[in-house]
Chains A and B, each alone.
Chain A
């Protein structure tokens, strides 16, 4: 078991619903926190003077370098990174009913890959470098999704999440000898504002009915998985599905 009290943890995307739940649970356990988020108003939502709020776009490598440097300045050592940055995006590969935009736009593909896959890669690279050079036996928790198995209508998002699962396995093998663990969390559908913004109410209801537990997850249920991934000292390289049985 890893004792979180006094440990430095960076939560990227911490101003979002799941990120705030993660922050709450980590604070309860005495972790010292820094949040990296691009939302200029996110500090108000985090609303905790003890937490360093570092506004940065995780899709920009220079901004990530600055933010991770800021987190190190505040926390001293980073023992864990929670990588829950990114955006949901739905767009079919081909839309026969939309002659004006029949094919998936390359621009949206690039943006979704950058904000989900590339941002996860850049954050992990900077934090892993900090952990390796300071011989910190830390943990990186990435965020995949049930979409990684191939949600129809989510080409770019699914590809990004599948890529995150692959990176998680690669990094676990590369960094394991240094004592650094890498785990991914794959939520199913979570009852958050971003889910409601990305999907219609009818679709959300349908996914709830398709889930064996017949509902969406709460943000706290996902955050609990993140805490498990950090605290359990022998889990690495795996994606933990927290999806009410949807992927079974």
Chain B
């Protein structure tokens, strides 16, 4: 069955599930340094989840850049993902 949720909703959900944070904590200003659960290992899980969900392949530069929800949105927008 097709996922009816918006790109924004799917991003918030996957970040919430991967970082084990409540949905309302997933805001654009959330940065890697702000969340104890967002370390280099969960960052890789986040990368894999984003690639699976949005069917994109992120470059190493993208991965290094995505240190906040805002940056994740920018990287995805640059790859044509509508959020």
Within 8 A of B (CB), among A152-198: 174-179
Known: A177-B47, A177-B48, A178-B47. A135 touches B41 (CB 8 A): no
Q: Is B35 in contact with chain A by the CB < 8 A criterion?
A: no
User: Which chain B positions have C-beta within 8 A of A133?
Assistant: 60
Size category of the B interface is: under 10
User: Which chain A positions have C-beta within 8 A of B27?
Assistant: none
Q: A132 to B44, alpha carbons, bound, how many Å?
A: 10
Contact call B41/A132, Cβ cutoff below 8 A? no
Contact call A178/B59, Cβ cutoff below 8 A? no
Q: A134 to B57, alpha carbons, bound, how many Å?
A: 11
Q: How many residues of A contact B (CB 8 A)?
A: 10
Within 8 A of A (CB), among B21-76: 41, 44-45, 47-48, 57-60
Q: A107 to B68, alpha carbons, bound, how many Å?
A: 48
Q: A12 to B37, alpha carbons, bound, how many Å?
A: 37
Q: A178 to B57, alpha carbons, bound, how many Å?
A: 10
Secondary structure type dominating chain A contacts: helix
- Report A170 CB to chain B, min CB distance, Å: 10
Contact call B41/A178, Cβ cutoff below 8 A? no
Contact call A135/B60, Cβ cutoff below 8 A? yes
Q: A174 to B60, alpha carbons, bound, how many Å?
A: 16
User: Which chain B positions have C-beta within 8 A of A178?
Assistant: 44, 47-48
- Report B78 CB to chain A, min CB distance, Å: 16
Contact call A135/B48, Cβ cutoff below 8 A? no
Which of B41, B57, B60 has the largest count of A CB atoms less than 10 A from its CB?
Answer: B60
Residue-by-residue, is A123-143 near B (CB-CB < 8 Å gives 1, otherwise 0)?
000000000111100000000
Contact call A132/B47, Cβ cutoff below 8 A? no
User: Which chain B positions have C-beta within 8 A of A179?
Assistant: 48
User: Which A residues contact B (CB, under 8 angstroms)?
Assistant: 132-135, 174-179
Sample of 5 further A-B pairs with CB below 8 A, known A135-B60, A178-B48, A179-B48: A135-B59, A174-B41, A177-B44, A177-B45, A178-B47
Give 5 CB contacts A-B under 8 Å.
A134-B60, A135-B59, A176-B48, A177-B44, A178-B44
